[in-house]
Amino acid sequence: MENNYPFISAKCITYGRVDTLEESIESFLKQDYLGKKELIIVNDYPEQTLVYDHPEVFIYNIPKTFDTIGAKENFAVNLCQGDIIAVWDDDDIAMPNHLYNIAKYFLSNTDLLHWEKGVLFNDKKISAITGLGNSGIVYSKNIWKKIGGHALENAGYDMTFVLKIKSQSNNIVLASPPDCDVSWFYMWGGRSYHMSGQGNDDETKPNILIRHSEHIENLRSQGLIPTGVITLLPKWNLDYQLLLKQYTNSE
């Protein structure tokens, strides 16, 4: 504990999405949390070596793509030093109070935190303040260990993970901050290749890793994806705090 706040590890897995990742890192840098925190980033796009120098941001560039998203998640969680693991997706946004919200709702015996109130952001505007499903979930490292980590799956792995936690624990928190204090933006349309919109893997189509890799390689062939050593420049492309303030004031 530091200043009576828990150590929170923000865990981010990424692949070829520098622009959205820079926004995600900026979200972490904007946190006004006084407790101990870290951002763990695992990149397994072999064409990119990501670099960013910050004492709380740790980037692991893996030269070979993981066989499953579940394996990549487990690798990342193993690197996390905190007891609380906050999913910090490379294409979503957190408000500066997000880690404080986690510390507020994630009690000492909590195993899983779901956001019943957050921002659904679609095509550069806020569509609703609503439940976010599995987006931005927070879980204890202990429950991750207890259930044997993430299943070695691709699309649908997050649902498998949540259902397994629920089968072995009753310590589930459904958090509903006031609208003006919601802190997680689930970014939907008009932003990137979105796994949640592609359906689960089955025998009728290549798995999500193959589909996403093909999408990234297509962009790279058009000169739209940088390669080599990339020094990240964290920034927000929009003023998300202002957009949230305007949205909640207009309700």
DSSP label at residue 196: G
| pLDDT tens digits for range 125-182 | 999 999 999 999 999 999 999 999 999 988 788 999 999 999 999 999 999 999 999 9
> What does the block give as tokens for 67?
């066989």
Q: Which helix (H) or strand (E) holds 245?
A: helix 240-250
Residue 143 Cα distances to 37, 39, 105, 198, angstroms: 20, 20, 17, 28
| pLDDT tens digits for range 216-233 | 888 888 888 999 999 999
Q: What percent of the chain has pLDDT over 90?
A: 79
Burial of residue 58 (CB within 10 Å: 0-12, 13-18, 19+) is: middle
Global pTM reads: 0.91
* C-alpha triplet 193, 195, 201: angle, nearest 5°: 130
Higher pLDDT, 197 or 35: 35
Phi, psi of 163 (to 5 degrees): -65, -35
